[in-house]
A and B are shown apart, each in its own frame.
Chain A
Amino acid sequence: MAIRERMSGNEAVATAMRQINPDVMGAFPITPSTEIPEYFSQFMADGLVDTQFVPVESEHSAMSVCIGASAAGARAVTATSSAGLAYMWELLYVAASSRLPMTMAVANRALTGPISIGNDHSDSMGARDSGWIQIYAESNQEVYDNFIQGVTITEATRIPVMICQDGFITSHGVSNIELLEDEKVREYIGEYEPEDYLLNSDHPLAVGPYGTAPYYMEVKRQQAQAMKDAMPVILEAAEKYGKITGRNYGFFEEYRMEDAEVAVVVIGSSAGTGKAAVDRMREEGKKAGLIKLRVFRPFPRIPLAEAMCRVKAVAIMDKAESFSNSGGPLFSEARSALYDLPQRPLAINYIYGLGGRDITVEDFDRIYDELFAIEKSGDPGDVYRYIGVRDSRDGEGQER
């Protein structure tokens, strides 16, 4: 029997961590993920976990703690956000290239410049080339489910995993959730039995040595292969999880896509807002659909392209700028994925929701109206657009 509860996304992640009962947690508090180590510290104080909690002076050290712990053979977790994730940057690559399993909760938030505490995806999108698996959530339920699956994925792939949720929107928003019983979580993740680890004196090894030119590139090639091999592992973890919860996950979720003519592709909590707009469109007889991308790394290039190519026009949404003058990170990759298909939809990009800017059902209505207009005219206009900004570049009346 599932446990019906209500809690914030942060409490949901902390609860998943308590049920996982990791060996080590290294953490430094930063808004808006601070509540996660706070809740976890309470669980420690209450004697509910036997984790070695290592409070450190910076995120750089928090990641170093996880690297040391994972190399030693421990199951390690941490949590961070925004500038905290940026401060881990150098070490993210060390964890990934050393093939050290660990699970990190990220409450997505803008990077500074100007100073902001608002939600967007610029922190984890900036870390997209670090070699970590990235899984995003729409709700507190999904971030809880993803974190538990993340443990099995990281240990099976030996790739560190980032479990992302929208800072404040879901991290601090309280809503209904169904939790698993502790024993079911522990049965699902199993005991961690690392293949090689520093504390195994029978098999001494070096971790993180200098990668001279004759070796460095082979390490990178192996990381790339591991990311490719992670694809079926992610699906297997989801399938096994679906069997015990009834909640099914894939690389992405397709919402009312069966007969859709136009679609939005979006990551995170805004997908829920977009679904409400889809429902409204459908009531008016307009065939709108939505694809919510859950797994961004590895990028599900082929299945995503196949899902998108069933519609005539698609709006790909980015909650992060990459200042490429060619669209945001999701647009660049998703649109590139369409290139190999003979029949492909017209694709436009919207940058939205930066630094906590709200996006509403009415905003999505406008996007769908624009997509239907593009479907009709066959002319996408300027594909690189903004929505929800006080600026002329908001997509209306744009020339190519």
Chain B
Amino acid sequence: MSEKQGKMTEIRWHGRGGQGAKTACLLLAEAAFFSGKYVQGFPEYGPERMGAPITAYNRISDEECTVHSNIYTPDHVAVVDETLLSAVDVLSGLKEGGVLIINTTKTADEVRDELPGFEGPVCVVDAKKISMEMLGRNFPNTPMLAAVVKASDVLDEERFISDMRKSFEHKFHDKPEMIEGNMKALQKTMDEVRVE
């Protein structure tokens, strides 16, 4: 736990409008809040249109953070749509040793091959496959969130899982099948993904 104390973690999300990068960012803020952290979760708004690249940010810390700027040197980067690799410099400012967490069917080495010069750690998550298997629908947010928590080591995993159950129970109180489906997607992601 010691390295999770006193340190601020900054995460930058890349997605396309309508894919839920903002939602995943706000879910992470919520999960971190439940863990007793100080949190910030905020999207960067541009011309809002479906499919346009969007960015969202998280700051997670044990102390209040008053900084209200965007994040230029993230500890980790989460990419919800792999087609962004050729469109946006997702690695911009990524700190040494920072993890690239990416929703893809590719392997970590295949992802690195697409990013010349990048030799840092990668965490691949096939969020669509996990979501289809566990929820029967493509909601990549829950697997992405779980992968970010696992790869960033920013939250205590057991606490995170129990907090998320409460959160899903609250959110889906009239759709109980969504509670179990989301929990299974969360657990499966936590079990399967690793930083390579």
Contact = CB atoms under 8 A, between A and B. Distances in A.
B72 to A, nearest CB: 7
A95 B118 CA distance: 60
B43 interface: yes
Interface stretch (A38-46, A244-252, A357-365): A357-365
A273 B66 contact: yes
Contact of A176 (B26, B42, B47, B64): B64
A174 interface: yes
A175 B58 CA distance: 10
Contacts of A269: 68
Given A174-B29, A360-B69, A168 B45 contact: yes
Contacts of B68: 138, 166, 169-170, 173, 269-270, 272-273
A32 B72 CA distance: 24
Nearest to B43: A172
Interface string A171-188: 011111000000000000
Interface string B33-54: 1000011111101010000000
Contacts, number: 64
Interface residues of A, number: 27
Chain B: interface size category: 20 to 34
B66 A175 contact: no
A359 B69 contact: yes
Contacts of A270: 68
Given A174-B29, A176-B33, A276 B40 contact: no
Given A174-B29, A174-B40, A276 B45 contact: no
B67 interface: yes
Contact of A358 (B43, B45, B69): B69
Interface string A241-282: 000000000000000000000000000011111011000000
A275 B66 contact: yes
Interface of A: 6, 32, 117-118, 138-139, 166, 168-170, 172-176, 269-273, 275-276, 356, 358-361
Interface of B: 26, 29-30, 33, 38-43, 45, 47, 64-70, 72
10 contacts: A6-B30, A117-B45, A138-B66, A172-B42, A173-B40, A174-B40, A270-B68, A273-B69, A358-B69, A360-B70
